[in-house]
Structure 1
Amino acid sequence: MAKFSKITSLLAGATMALSAATAFAADHTLVISSWAPPTHGINAKMWPKFVEMVEEATDGKVTAELKLGIAPPPAQMDLIMDGAADASIIFHGYQAGRFVTTKMIELPGYEGSAEAASVAYWRAYEQYLSKANEHRGVKLIALHTHGPAQLHSNAAVTDMSQIEGMKVRIPGGVGGDVGSALGATGIAVPAPKVYETLASNAADGVVMPFESRKGFKLTEVAQNVYEVPGGLYRGSFAFIMNEDAFADLPADLQKALDEKVFGEPLSREIGKVWDEIDGIGREATMSTEGNAINAASAADLEKFNAIAADVRAKVIAEVTEAGIDGQAAYDMIAKEMSAY
């Protein structure tokens, strides 16, 4: 496995040892590229859970080390395809024009936790969305969503009509569709840049999950949250792996990872972590002086439900045009989440 040690020595950026005790004993060490801040839940909780599951499934023969700052978020897909790292997390909305079917999980109106959404997402992927082959070039090892995304701003928003004309950082995908429908002026900024964007007044607000209150320190620069039950959208993520890195592993280890870690098991655990860090973000908001959570009114919810219905119809049509039964995929996700 000379490939892994070569990659490890060549890559620049900070390194975090996720499991030092087994790293020396493992036969194979995978290099993880992550773009989130060091203390963000992705790095502090999700990747350690991934390593724990990998080591347990392979009896410690495979482990991983985390490297930060190798490339910005939009470059992670190409980074893994090129073999500059062995695994990474991607946000589908950063890949303009590359993904369509992934917008299905981002739709507003789903009820349930990030864990429920992530499991439903993987099951819908296996039955429907995989036919689009949008992750070609990498090995897809998990799919998940963050919790419901809300509007975070410095000035209090207590009525949905106030959003019109605001400069708001909104990611691509369904988040962009919803922002446009609300009349916001969208600003394309990767998540790691939201703090400085708000601090410099380049944006009036951002739309992100509650986790960001802690993970991106929004309690300092966006003291108010406008909360819509179920969120304005849910973000779509994937854990991906270099195909050659996986092929280089012995057949028995490949089998163990495919059966015990990759797919639904990992998707479930990542979703569960996101529920945890969303809770931490909400608590940080409630315990920070000057911060407030403003719930959408009944009138606003009625207005938003009409917007959500239009966005759903648009996305279902887009997915159908991509050769997937969009309505069946949507119905499956909604059913799986409600029954979870």
Structure 2
Amino acid sequence: MNRLKAALAASAVMLAPAFAAPALAQTQLIFNSYLPPHDELYQIAIRDFAAAIEEESGGEIKITIPDTTLAPSDRQYEMVRDGIADMAIVSTGGVPQLVTMNKIGDLPFNSPSARAASIALWETYNKYFLPFDEFKGVKVLSTSVLPGRQILSVGKLQAESVADLKGAKLWSPPGALSETVKKLGAVPVNSEFTDLQEYVTKGTVDAMVMAPNSAKGARVLEYVTGMTEVPGGLGSLSFAVFISQERWDQLTSDEQQAIERAAKDLPARSGAAADAVLAKLAPEMEKVPTVTLEGAPLDEFRSLLEARIEEWKERAAKKGLDNPDEVLAFYREILARENKAGGS
């Protein structure tokens, strides 16, 4: 950790000239990102959000996005808390020691569309989770959820039922999705995202737990031989955009309001962007044999994965949430509302 802090401090020093002797009195904010520029979440929740803040503030706020990340993806929260950057985005899976409640968006069947899930998580966060201050020391400005993760086969595996998955090797991100894979009787295989192509081409895995747009980004979609589509997904990945609470408190009321105006509807816009990328792949995915689970096979998946949902309820209750069933019902009510409104 000392080495990390030293490295971050050195990076901050390198950025210092960007803020030296501004021509006008501006509030300078560093908005860090570990996401690549082509990523839709980067484009909407970071690049466009930063531009909107500058516009809403009438140029009173200047946002700098470093060319390279000032900390690893799993150290974004600590980086902001340590004052290396003012703003950042983090996956809730990257702060497991802190965040339990927001992982409702990561649960099985809870992301029928990224837009609907992102709105549901944001409304649920503000209605139920905000008072618990799980993101201690920072102010959350937006949340987002990726499209539901599906089973993408890359070999002879045809996953039409739970029985087909027994002993199969499924690549999945570490954490919640790996636990889901275990519940289905399969074997989770973890690696860096950048190493996934090698795992696929060498036959190390039978399938991957991800959405087609993620497979496209990892340059492995061309190897997909089949897809098992689970309504709402086997789970997902949720994110939060935040600013240091200390830095927030230093801003004027007008500056705070400018940021909040810029953040309006950001969950919906972030989710819609992810859905749009997925939709563009529809012609390509039409060539891939797809099984959409329904009836008895889906019921078997639901029965096994209900344990993942119960585990979330238990952890949330231990953190002080006295009505997890009510909260889950509210989240799903928003999902249904947004899907009905055309968010799916």
TM range (shorter): 0.7 to 0.9
* 3-state SS of paired residue (1:239): strand
Cα distance in 2 for partners of 1:188, 1:131 equals 35
**Counterpart amino acid of residue 166 in structure 2:** E
Matches within 5 A, 1:1-340: 10=14, 27-62=26-61, 63-110=63-110, 112-155=112-155, 156-160=157-161, 161-258=163-260, 260-262=261-263, 265-286=265-286, 291-296=288-293, 298-324=295-321, 325-340=323-338
TM-score (norm 2): 0.81
Note the C-alpha offset of 1:228.
Answer: 1.3
Cα distance in 2 for partners of 1:113, 1:273 equals 11
Check the 8 A contact 2:33/2:65 in 1, yes or no: no
Mark the CA change 1:130 to 1:194 in structure 2 (over 3 Å): closer, same or farther. farther
* 3-state SS of paired residue (2:265): helix
Structure 2, unmatched stretches of 5+, are 1-9, 17-21, 339-344
Cα distance in 1 for partners of 2:96, 2:216 equals 27
Note the C-alpha offset of 1:200.
Answer: 4.9
Check the 8 A contact 2:111/2:235 in 1, yes or no: no
Partner of 2:342: none
In our comparison, the structure showing a higher alpha carbon Rg is 2
Check the 8 A contact 1:152/1:224 in 2, yes or no: yes
Cα distance in 2 for partners of 1:51, 1:330 equals 32
Note the C-alpha offset of 1:181.
Answer: 0.7
**Counterpart amino acid of residue 334 in structure 2:** E
Note the C-alpha offset of 1:177.
Answer: 3.1
* 3-state SS of paired residue (2:266): helix
TM-score (norm 1): 0.81
Note the C-alpha offset of 1:135.
Answer: 0.6
Cα distance in 2 for partners of 1:199, 1:9 equals 42
> Which segment drifts farther, 23-32 or 62-71?
23-32
Note the C-alpha offset of 1:312.
Answer: 1.9
Note the C-alpha offset of 1:114.
Answer: 1.6
The two structures, once aligned, show a CA RMSD in angstroms of: 3.0
Cα distance in 2 for partners of 1:140, 1:237 equals 10
Cα distance in 2 for partners of 1:318, 1:55 equals 39
Mark the CA change 1:196 to 1:25 in structure 2 (over 3 Å): closer, same or farther. farther
Cα distance in 2 for partners of 1:26, 1:226 equals 56
Cα distance in 2 for partners of 1:25, 1:268 equals 34
Check the 8 A contact 1:32/1:64 in 2, yes or no: yes
In the TM superposition, what whole-angstrom CA distance separates every residue of 1:199-247 from its partner, at most 9, and x where no partner exists? 4544443312232033222314545432212111122211122334434
> Which segment drifts farther, 224-233 or 66-75?
66-75
Check the 8 A contact 1:213/1:282 in 2, yes or no: no
Structure 1, unmatched stretches of 5+, are 1-5, 13-22
* 3-state SS of paired residue (1:33): coil
Mark the CA change 1:292 to 1:78 in structure 2 (over 3 Å): closer, same or farther. farther
Percent identity between the aligned chains? 23
Q: What count of residue pairs does the alignment treat as equivalent?
A: 320
Partner of 2:341: none
Mark the CA change 1:199 to 1:95 in structure 2 (over 3 Å): closer, same or farther. farther
